[in-house]
Every structure is written in C-alpha cells, then in structure tokens.
Amino acid sequence: MQVFEPVSQPVTEILGNCVSAPNITLSCSVVKGTNVMIHWERLSLSGVISETYDGTVLVIDCVTEQEQHAYRCIAENPVSNASSNRVTADLHNWTNPKDDSKLDGGVSCEEDTKRLQGDLDRLVQKRLWIMYTTAATVLLFVLILLVYICYKRKQSASHKGSNKPTERNNEEISYLRDGLIEATYITRIVSS
C-alpha cells in the first residue's frame, strides 16, 4: 500500500524580464506532496486555457511572444491537485525578483496593498457616513413625532380639564305652513 501526501499550493518564481533579457523564466514548486506532477497552463486574459506545458520551469521568449497572457502552475498527484495564483505577463515591462515584490506590469505588491488599503478605507468611510446620516434622519423623525404627540396630548388635556362650557351658535331654518321661512337662532351649551 502506498500513501500519498496531498499537494500544497504551488509557489511561483519569476526570473528575468524582457527589458534586460531575451526571455522570462517561470519556476514552480510545492512544499508538500508526494509523487507530484507539475505543469503550466497558458491562459488568455479572458481565462480560456490556450496551451499547457509540462515541467516545473517555463521559459517565455520575449521576442516571439506577441500577446499578453496569464500563466498558472498546476501541481497534482493521485489524491489531490492545487493551482497557483495567476501570473500575468506584461512583456514590455515585467520585472520580478525572487522575493515576488513586483508583479503584473512592474507594480510592487506593497504599492498595490497600499492602494487597496486606501480604497478599503474610503469604502468604510462612505458606509459609515451613510449609516450616520440614516441614523440622524431616523432620530429627527422620532423627535418630530414625539413633539407632535406631546402637543396633541396637551391640547386634549386642556379641553378635558376645563369645565367651561363651550357655546355654539347654530342657525336652524323652520318652514311655516304657508311656505314662509322663519329664521330661528338656537344657542346650545356643550360641556366637553
């Protein structure tokens, strides 16, 4: 019986650049796994696999390569498989020392991280502003509602608490037998 250790995510290394050398070398390795087979996939920018290459090393010729592509390393054994993150090759300005501090067009990971952190901070600030504005609007509405309710209660209490009769004048029209109209004024006193 043979026991296989699952493969870890492949680690890629980019050696060289098209500015100072005629080719770029992509290297792929895994930290864990037994009987590991490694190959590279060449992807169009839309993500469609256009070619595969066997082996841990892939050499890209800067002169013959005309289009920009992404590459992904795949490591597999009989019990598992894993793939690396996509590496996009900008053949005109692609530098990447061994520490992977520059990727994708010469933009450093640190610069990219700072930009993403700035974007995240702006998003959080915008959401907080929306949340505070909404809370303030709701509180203002509740305050107006409470003032209105208090006003109505006070108004109602002032009418109920006073025993002063309220006079109301109404005019009634009475018709006599001969068709003449006689105006009659009635005063009613109503207690509330």
Q: What is the pLDDT of residues 86-98, one digit of tens each?
A: 887 656 554 443 3
Per DSSP, the residues of 70-114 read EEEEEEEETTEEEEPPPEEE-TTS----TT--EETTTEEHHHHHH
Q: What torsion, rounded to 10 degrees, do the Cα atoms 45, 48, 51, 54 define?
A: 100
DSSP β-ladder status, 23-29 and 11-15: antiparallel
CA–CA gap between residue 31 and residue 122 (Å, rounded): 38
How high is the pLDDT of residue 111? Answer: 63
Residue 141 has pLDDT above 90, yes or no: yes
How high is the pLDDT of residue 129? Answer: 86
How high is the pLDDT of residue 94? Answer: 47
SS3 178: coil
Q: Are the CB atoms for 19 and 95 separated by under 8 Å?
A: yes
Confidence band of 191 (pLDDT split at 50, 70, 90): low
CATH number for region 11-105: 2.60.40.10
How high is the pLDDT of residue 45? Answer: 73
> Which residues, at least 6 apart from 169, have a Cβ–Cβ distance to it below 8 Å?
185, 186, 187
Q: For the chain, which residues make up each domain, given as ranges? A: 11-105, 116-157+165-189
AA letter at 17: N
CA 43 to chain centre: 27
Q: Are the CB atoms for 152 and 160 separated by under 8 Å?
A: no
Query: Per the confidence metrics, is the pTM higher than 0.75?
Result: no
How high is the pLDDT of residue 1? Answer: 80
In the numeric block, which tokens belong to residue 19?
């500015």
CA–CA gap between residue 137 and residue 69 (Å, rounded): 51
Residue 50 has pLDDT above 70, yes or no: yes
pLDDT more than 90, % of the chain? 29
